[in-house]
Amino acid sequence: MSAVSGVAIRAVAAATPTRVARTADYTYLDPDERRRFQKATGIAERRIVGPGQCASDLCLTAAKAALAKLGWAPDGVGALILVTQTGDQPVPATSIVLQDKLGLPQSCVAFDINLGCSSYPYGLAVAGSVMQTLGIARALLLIGDVSSRVCAEHDKSAWPLFGDAGSATALELDEGAPPIHVDLCSDGAGRDAIIIPGGGLASRRPPVDGRIVDATGSDGVQRRADNLVLRGADIFSFAISRVPGSIQRAIAASGRQAQDFDFLLLHQANKMINDTIARKLGFTSDRVPTSIEHYGNTSSASIPVTLCANAALFATPRWVVASGFGVGLSWGSATFQLPAASILPCIDTDDAY
């Protein structure tokens, strides 16, 4: 049985920068293209960090809010796991820096996971498993990305899609908590669908900082080697063909039926993708909360951002099935219960630590 038992979600917080970038103001698309872009993707605006703010800052703000809500002392947090693809520096892992900045004890387990859109189900599975196996009573699962920092502004296949966000999910061992059932998948044959090809050791850049030059991609867009390339059509086909099965497997593992879940939470990539997945699974739109209109595709943080952007829906205990899918290719689904009022509203912040 693919499940994490005895781990409860206590609080979810999300933080986004205050700066708003509107689709209507994106001059690399003409007005008709902007209209069609917004209709297809559902994205009206996104939040973009200023030069001094990192994913770690957004996650830290969210973590502080979650700890404050729960009244948890920092020294009681035994694990901090950060899921990001836009860490502060290549080495050391950003989670370890956050252990210090949050004032967590040196006995705290801290490490990073390099995943994007599939972060939430993977993060719950890894954090919950570590807690259960090592007997860690309380943990913070921090998830966030600043995708705006890795996309070329003139790249209309990527730049207008992404928003920046960080999140914190507070987890606690609790024998009475219902199991979190997961379905987790990978397909590296699709690695080129979303990729930052340069900057790592496989790109054979000079061993010291060499000059990074623009290159023109097969789509005619000029990018630096350390810019993100996104092939939207490949992601679209992948998502609508393989994600519904993952969600169905997680639901089946839980022993419940689709109609037993209050909400389906989907990674916020594109409205057309999510409408298609929801239709295939028989979820009507009122059971599929979104955040894409005002926050865009917030990458790894999209599921917590969507929870927090709809915090009012979670005043009472709710059963949720959530699914993340994309870069890797990596995808997964999780079923879990959220206790009453465990979701904090989205926090606007320009704080950098």
Partner 1 sequence: MTLDDFIEKFAFAIEVEDGSLTPDTHFKDLSSWDSLNTLAVIAMADADYGVTVTGRDIEAASTVADMWSVVSSKRAAAK
Residues at the site binding partner 1, with contacts judged by CB under 8 A: 33, 36-37, 40, 157, 231-234, 236-237, 240-241, 270, 272, 276, 279
We find the least distance from the C-beta atom of residue 244 to partner 1, in angstroms, to be 10
We find the least distance from the C-beta atom of residue 160 to partner 1, in angstroms, to be 11
What is the rounded CA–CA span in Å between residue 320 and residue 240? 20
* 19 or 279: CB nearest partner 1: 279
* Pair type for strands 165-173 and 7-16: antiparallel
* 232 or 339: CB nearest partner 1: 232
**120-147: burial string, b at 16+ Cβ within 10 Å, e else:** bbbbbbbbbebbeeeebebbbbbbbbbb
* 233 or 312: CB nearest partner 1: 233
* 195 or 352: CB nearest partner 1: 195
In the sheet where 318-326 sits, what is the strand order?
3-4, 180-186, 330-338, 318-326, 263-266
We find the least distance from the C-beta atom of residue 276 to partner 1, in angstroms, to be 6
* 155 or 164: CB nearest partner 1: 155
We find the least distance from the C-beta atom of residue 279 to partner 1, in angstroms, to be 8
What is the rounded CA–CA span in Å between residue 117 and residue 333? 11
Count of positions (residues) in the chain: 353
What is the rounded CA–CA span in Å between residue 30 and residue 348? 30
We find the least distance from the C-beta atom of residue 220 to partner 1, in angstroms, to be 11
What is the rounded CA–CA span in Å between residue 118 and residue 191? 14
We find the least distance from the C-beta atom of residue 190 to partner 1, in angstroms, to be 11
Residue in the block written with tokens 């902007």: 34
In this structure, are residues 188 and 329 in contact, taking their beta carbons and an 8 Å threshold? Answer: yes
* 227 or 342: CB nearest partner 1: 227
* 27 or 257: CB nearest partner 1: 27
What is the rounded CA–CA span in Å between residue 91 and residue 205? 17
We find the least distance from the C-beta atom of residue 243 to partner 1, in angstroms, to be 12
Element (H, E) at 46: strand 45-47
**Range list of H helices, the chain:** 31-41, 55-70, 94-101, 119-134, 232-254, 271-281, 292-295, 302-309
* 36 or 154: CB nearest partner 1: 36
Cα angle at 216 between 152 and 159, to 5 degrees?
20
Give the torsion sign (CA, 351, 325, 174, 80).
negative
We find the least distance from the C-beta atom of residue 157 to partner 1, in angstroms, to be 6
